[in-house]
Structure 1
Amino acid sequence: MDVNLNDILDFLQAAARSVGAEVTSPWFYFQLGLVLAAAGIGFAVNALVESRIDITSLAVRWPLLLRRTVRVVVGSASVAVFALLMVLARNVMVMTTWPSRSYLLMVAAKLAFAWLIIRLVASGIHNTFVVRTVSVLAFLVAALSIIGQLNPVIDALDSVAITLGGLRLTPLLLIKLGVLLILALWLTNVVSNFAESRITQSSDLTPSLQVLLVKMIRVGLLIFAIAVALSAVGINLSALAIFSGAAGVGIGFGLQKIVANFISGLILLVDKSVKPGDLVTIGDSSGRISTMNTRYIAVAAGDGREFLIPNEDLITQKVTNWTYTDKNALVKINFGTNYDANPRLVCKLAVEVAAAAKAALKSKPPTCLLTEFTDAGMKFSLTVWVADPDNIGTTQNEVMLALWDAFKREDIHVPYPVREIRVRGGALPAETSADSST
Structure 2
Amino acid sequence: MEQKFVAAYDFLINWLNANVLTWNTAAQWACVFGSYVLTALIWRGFERRLFEQVDQKKLSSLSRSILRAVVDAGNVAAFVVVMQVCTAVFESMDLRPGVLDAASDLAVAWIVIRLVTSIMPNRVLARAVTGLVWVVAAFSIFGLLGPITDSLSRLSFSVGEAKFTALGVIKGVALAAIFLQAAALTSQFITKRIESVHDLSPSLQVLLTKTFKVLLYTGAVLFAMSSVGIDLTSLAIFSSALGVGIGFGLKTVFSNYVAGILLLMDNSIKPGDTIEVGGVFGVVRDMRGRYASVLTRNGKEHLVPNEQLITGEVVNWTHSDTNIRLEVPVGISYESDLDKALDLLSRAAVGMERVLHDPVPAARLVGFGDSSVDLVLRFWIKDADQGVTNVRSAVLVRVWHLFHEHGIEFPFPQRDVLLKSDSALSVRLDREPDDG
TM-score normalised by the chain length of structure 1 = 0.81
The code of the aligned residue for 1:46 comes to: W
Which among 210, 213, 221 is matched to residue 208 of structure 2? 213
CA offset at residue 278 of structure 1? 0.9
Alignment pair present for 1:45 and 2:42:
yes
- 1:248-279 Cα shifts (integer Å, max 9, x gaps): 25633554333222211101101211111111
Number of aligned residue pairs: 414
Alignment pair present for 1:294 and 2:289:
yes
**8 Å Cα contact 2:54-2:67 kept in structure 1:** no
SS across alignment from 1:325:
coil
Range with greater deviation from structure 2 (297-306 or 4-13)? 4-13
Alignment pair present for 1:411 and 2:410:
no
Determine the C-alpha separation between the residues in 2 that align with 1:258 and 1:139: 42
**8 Å Cα contact 2:322-2:383 kept in structure 1:** yes
Determine the C-alpha separation between the residues in 2 that align with 1:234 and 1:32: 42
Equivalent position of 1:204 in the other structure: 199
Equivalent position of 2:61 in the other structure: none
**8 Å Cα contact 1:207-1:275 kept in structure 2:** yes
Equivalent position of 1:432 in the other structure: none
Determine the C-alpha separation between the residues in 2 that align with 1:5 and 1:311: 61
The code of the aligned residue for 1:207 comes to: P
CA offset at residue 143 of structure 1? 0.6
Alignment pair present for 1:18 and 2:10:
no
Equivalent position of 1:92 in the other structure: 89
Going from structure 1 to structure 2, the CA distance change for 1:28 and 1:246 (only over 3 Å counts) comes to farther
Alignment pair present for 1:263 and 2:263:
no
Alignment pair present for 1:341 and 2:336:
yes
Equivalent position of 1:235 in the other structure: 230
Going from structure 1 to structure 2, the CA distance change for 1:21 and 1:253 (only over 3 Å counts) comes to farther
Going from structure 1 to structure 2, the CA distance change for 1:154 and 1:424 (only over 3 Å counts) comes to farther
Which among 278, 282, 294 is matched to residue 273 of structure 2? 278
SS across alignment from 1:274:
coil
Determine the C-alpha separation between the residues in 1 that align with 2:196 and 2:66: 33
Identity, % of aligned pairs?
A: 32
Alignment pair present for 1:170 and 2:155:
no
**8 Å Cα contact 2:259-2:310 kept in structure 1:** yes
Equivalent position of 1:30 in the other structure: 27
Going from structure 1 to structure 2, the CA distance change for 1:291 and 1:51 (only over 3 Å counts) comes to closer
The code of the aligned residue for 2:124 comes to: F
Equivalent position of 2:389 in the other structure: 393
Matches within 5 A, 1:129-140: 129-140=124-135
Determine the C-alpha separation between the residues in 1 that align with 2:329 and 2:223: 65
CA offset at residue 146 of structure 1? 0.8
**8 Å Cα contact 2:121-2:181 kept in structure 1:** no
Structure 2: where are the runs of 5+ without partners? 58-63, 417-426
Going from structure 1 to structure 2, the CA distance change for 1:423 and 1:180 (only over 3 Å counts) comes to farther
- 1:321-354 Cα shifts (integer Å, max 9, x gaps): 1112232222122222222124344334323434
Equivalent position of 1:384 in the other structure: 379
CA offset at residue 125 of structure 1? 4.1
Determine the C-alpha separation between the residues in 2 that align with 1:22 and 1:339: 108
The code of the aligned residue for 2:31 comes to: L
Range with greater deviation from structure 2 (217-226 or 398-407)? 398-407
RMSD: 3.5
Equivalent position of 1:363 in the other structure: 359
CA offset at residue 237 of structure 1? 0.8
Range with greater deviation from structure 2 (344-353 or 195-204)? 344-353
The code of the aligned residue for 2:39 comes to: G
Going from structure 1 to structure 2, the CA distance change for 1:369 and 1:9 (only over 3 Å counts) comes to farther
Determine the C-alpha separation between the residues in 2 that align with 1:12 and 1:250: 51
Going from structure 1 to structure 2, the CA distance change for 1:364 and 1:271 (only over 3 Å counts) comes to farther
The code of the aligned residue for 2:405 comes to: R
CA offset at residue 150 of structure 1? 1.0
Range with greater deviation from structure 2 (287-296 or 346-355)? 346-355
CA offset at residue 391 of structure 1? 6.3
The code of the aligned residue for 1:231 comes to: S
**8 Å Cα contact 2:343-2:363 kept in structure 1:** no
CA offset at residue 48 of structure 1? 5.0
Equivalent position of 1:190 in the other structure: 185
Determine the C-alpha separation between the residues in 2 that align with 1:295 and 1:122: 32
CA offset at residue 418 of structure 1? 6.0
Structure 1: where are the runs of 5+ without partners? 61-66, 428-438
SS across alignment from 2:388:
helix
SS across alignment from 1:269:
helix
- 1:310-330 Cα shifts (integer Å, max 9, x gaps): 222212322111112232222
Alignment pair present for 1:80 and 2:77:
yes
